[in-house]
C-alpha cells in the first residue's frame, strides 16, 4: 500500500491487502475469539509481546481493516474503533485525564459532547473550562491551570458551523505542551485533515458521514503520532503501568503510545468496542466517502444560496457562504467544500419551524446528520433540549434555528421539497 495514494484511492484500497486466495472484500469476522495451539504464545499475546487477535473486545480483523484505512486517510499512525462517537470522545479524554485534572474545550460543541463535558465528567472529578473559540489567544491561555491536560474542539462546530481556527488552537496547545484533540465528524478526512494543521488526536462519530447510510452507531480515535508525550507532563504514558507488568507505553510503542494505551488499558477495562458487522459497514462507507462528501457539500452550498434568497428565511448559516463569519477560514481549511449541514432561521420562529418540518416530504424529520438521505431537525426542541436556554445560546442554538443535513439526492428535488414546505410554513 502506498503512502502517496490520493485520499480517493486510500478510501477504496487502504487498510486491507489480501494475499493470493484471500477474499477480495474485507470479511465480516463475526467471532468473539481466536484459536491458538500454544499456551506460551497466548501468554505473549496478553503481554503485548506479539501482535495478534485473541478477543474481539481488544481487536478484530474486520475492525482492524477499518482502523488502518481511516488512520491512513487522516495521515495518522494508528486508530481505535469504538462502539459510538460518544465512546470515542470519552476515551480520548480518559486516556490522559483523570480525577483532579482539567481540560479546555471550545464551547461550540455537539449537544451530547456538551453534556458529557458539562455534567458527567465533572461527576468523575474531571474539570473542564468552556472557552469561546473566537476569543483571542491570550484570553484562551488564561483558562489554563497547572493540571490542564488537553484542548478539545470541533473542526466544524455543531450547530453554529463555525470553522475552527486551527492555527490559533494548535499554537495554544503547543505553547502549553498539551495535545489538541479534534472532533472532525462533520468534516471527515476527505474535506479536512486536522493533523496537517497541528491537531494531535482526532475523534469521529462514524455514525454520520463515514457510515453515510444511517445503518450503524460507532466511533473512532485516530492518533497523529505527532505529540511528545515524553515532556514530563504525562507520566501515565512514560511511567510503568502496573496493570501491565510495568509496561512503559512511550518506550515500547513510540509514536503510537497514546492509541495503544487507549486500546490495551481503556478498551480492556471499559469495553466500548465496536461489533465486527458495524466495522464492516464503516469500512464500506469509507469507500464512497470522497464521492459522497463532494456531493453533500455541493448540494448544501446550492441549498444555502437558495435559502439566502428566499423571502421566508431570515438568515442562513453555512461556512461556504460569504455571509458566514468562517467563510475565509473555510477556504483555507475546507477547500473542497463545507460538508452537508447548514442551519437557517425561519420567519415565524419555532411554530413556523414545526410546520416546515412536518410539511417536508422528501426531507425526513430524524435526529441524525450525515445520511445520504436529506434530513431536518429543530435542535432547541430535540438534540439540545436538555440544555438550559443560556447553555443553548452559548452553543449557538436559537428557537428559530432549523438544521438541514443535505443529502445526495438530485438538487432539484431537494429544493422543490424545501420550497413547498416553506410556503406552507408561512400561511396565516
Ligand X SMILES: *Cc1c(COP(=O)(O)O)cnc(C)c1O
- State which residue has the least CB distance to ligand X: 85
The interface mask with ligand X, positions 195-214, x = CB under 6 A, is ----------x-xx------
Our finding on whether 110 is near ligand X (CB under 6 A) is yes
- Among 341, 362, 365, residue whose Cα is nearest residue 353: 365
C-alpha cell, 263? 486500546
Q: Choose one: 82-90, 159-167, 170-178, 315-323; the region binding ligand X (CB under 6 A).
A: 82-90
Q: Choose one: 94-102, 132-140, 178-186, 325-333; the region binding ligand X (CB under 6 A).
A: 178-186
Cβ atoms of 128 and 150 closer than 8 Å: no
Our finding on whether 60 is near ligand X (CB under 6 A) is no
Residues 116-175, interacting with ligand X (CB under 6 A): 154, 158
- Among 96, 101, 152, residue whose Cα is nearest residue 124: 101
Residues 310-349, interacting with ligand X (CB under 6 A): none
Q: Which is nearer to ligand X, 81 or 348 (CB)?
A: 81
Q: Which is nearer to ligand X, 62 or 207 (CB)?
A: 207
**Side-chain-side CA neighbours of residue 97 (13 Å):** 28
Our finding on whether 82 is near ligand X (CB under 6 A) is no
Our finding on whether 63 is near ligand X (CB under 6 A) is no
Our finding on whether 283 is near ligand X (CB under 6 A) is no
C-alpha cell, 132? 469561546
Q: Which of 5, 44, 112, 424 binds ligand X (CB under 6 A)?
A: 112
Q: Which is nearer to ligand X, 183 or 400 (CB)?
A: 183
Q: Choose one: 19-27, 110-118, 238-246, 413-421; the region binding ligand X (CB under 6 A).
A: 110-118
Q: Choose one: 9-17, 180-188, 236-244, 272-280; the region binding ligand X (CB under 6 A).
A: 180-188
Integer CA distances (angstroms), 204 to 36, 82, 104, 207, 322, in order: 34, 10, 19, 8, 27
What are the strands, taking DSSP E only, across 8-98?
A: 78-82
Please give the helix or strand (H or E) that residue 243 lies within, else none: none
Q: Which of 60, 107, 113, 148 binds ligand X (CB under 6 A)?
A: 113
Q: How far apart are CA 197 and CA 335, in angstroms?
A: 13
Our finding on whether 108 is near ligand X (CB under 6 A) is no
Q: How far apart are CA 406 and CA 95, in angstroms?
A: 35
Cβ atoms of 258 and 201 closer than 8 Å: yes
- Among 203, 175, 209, residue whose Cα is nearest residue 76: 203
Q: Which of 74, 183, 223, 371 binds ligand X (CB under 6 A)?
A: 183
CA torsion, points 240, 245, 248, 252, in degrees to nearest 10? 170
Contact residues for ligand X (CB under 6 A)? 84-86, 110, 112-113, 154, 158, 183, 185-186, 205, 207-208, 217, 219
Amino acid at each position: 500500500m502506498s503512502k502517496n495514494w490520493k485520499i480517493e484511492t486510500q478510501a477504496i484500497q487502504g487498510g486491507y491487502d489480501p494475499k493470493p486466495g484471500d477474499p477480495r472484500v474485507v470479511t465480516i469476522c463475526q467471532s468473539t475469539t481466536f484459536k491458538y495451539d500454544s499456551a506460551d504464545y497466548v501468554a505473549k499475546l496478553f503481554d503485548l509481546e506479539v501482535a495478534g487477535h485473541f478477543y474481539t473486545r481488544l481487536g478484530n480483523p474486520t475492525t482492524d481493516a477499518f482502523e488502518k484505512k481511516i488512520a491512513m486517510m487522516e495521515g495518522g499512525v494508528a486508530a481505535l474503533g469504538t462502539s459510538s462517537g460518544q465512546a470515542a470522545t470519552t476515551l480520548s479524554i480518559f486516556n490522559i485525564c483523570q480525577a483532579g485534572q482539567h481540560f479546555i474545550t471550545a464551547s461550540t460543541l455537539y449537544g451530547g459532547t456538551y453534556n458529557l463535558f458539562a455534567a458527567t465528567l465533572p461527576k468523575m472529578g474531571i474539570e473542564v473550562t468552556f472557552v469561546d473559540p473566537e476569543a483571542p489567544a491570550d484570553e484562551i491561555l488564561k483558562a489554563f491551570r497547572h493540571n490542564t491536560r488537553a484542548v478539545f474542539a470541533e473542526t466544524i462546530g455543531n450547530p453554529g458551523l463555525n470553522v475552527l481556527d486551527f492555527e490559533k488552537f494548535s499554537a495554544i496547545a503547543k505553547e502549553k505542551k498539551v495535545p489538541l484533540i479534534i472532533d472532525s465528524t462533520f468534516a471527515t478526512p476527505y474535506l479536512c485533515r486536522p493533523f496537517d494543521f497541528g491537531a494531535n488526536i482526532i475523534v469521529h462519530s462514524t455514525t454520520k458521514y463515514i457510515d453515510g447510510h444511517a445503518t450503524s452507531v460507532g466511533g473512532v480515535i485516530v492518533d497523529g503520532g505527532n505529540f511528545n508525550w515524553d515532556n514530563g507532563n504525562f507520566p501515565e504514558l512514560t511511567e510503568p503501568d502496573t496493570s501491565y507488568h510495568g509496561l512503559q507505553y512511550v518506550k515500547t510503542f513510540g509514536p503510537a503510545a497514546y492509541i495503544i494505551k487507549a486500546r490495551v488499558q481503556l478498551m480492556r477495562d471499559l469495553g466500548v468496542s465496536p461489533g465486527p458487522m458495524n466495522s464492516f459497514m464503516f469500512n464500506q462507507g469509507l469507500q464512497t466517502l470522497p464521492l459522497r462528501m463532494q456531493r453533500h457539500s455541493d448540494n448544501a452550498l446550492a441549498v444555502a444560496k437558495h435559502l439566502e434568497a428566499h423571502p421566508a428565511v431570515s438568515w442562513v448559516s453555512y461556512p461556504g457562504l460569504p455571509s458566514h463569519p468562517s467563510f475565509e477560514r473555510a477556504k483555507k481549511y475546507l477547500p473542497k467544500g463545507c460538508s452537508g449541514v447548514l442551519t437557517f432561521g425561519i420567519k415565524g420562529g419555532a411554530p413556523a419551524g414545526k410546520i416546515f418540518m412536518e410539511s417536508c416530504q422528501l426531507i425526513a424529520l430524524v435526529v441524525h446528520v450525515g445520511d445520504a438521505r436529506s434530513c431536518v431537525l429543530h435542535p432547541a426542541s430535540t438534540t439540545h433540549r436538555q440544555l438550559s436556554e443560556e447553555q443553548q445560546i452559548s452553543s449557538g442554538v436559537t428557537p428559530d434555528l432549523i438544521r438541514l443535513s443535505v443529502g445526495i439526492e438530485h438538487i432539484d428535488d431537494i429544493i422543490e421539497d424545501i420550497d413547498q414546505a416553506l410556503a406552507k410554513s408561512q400561511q396565516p
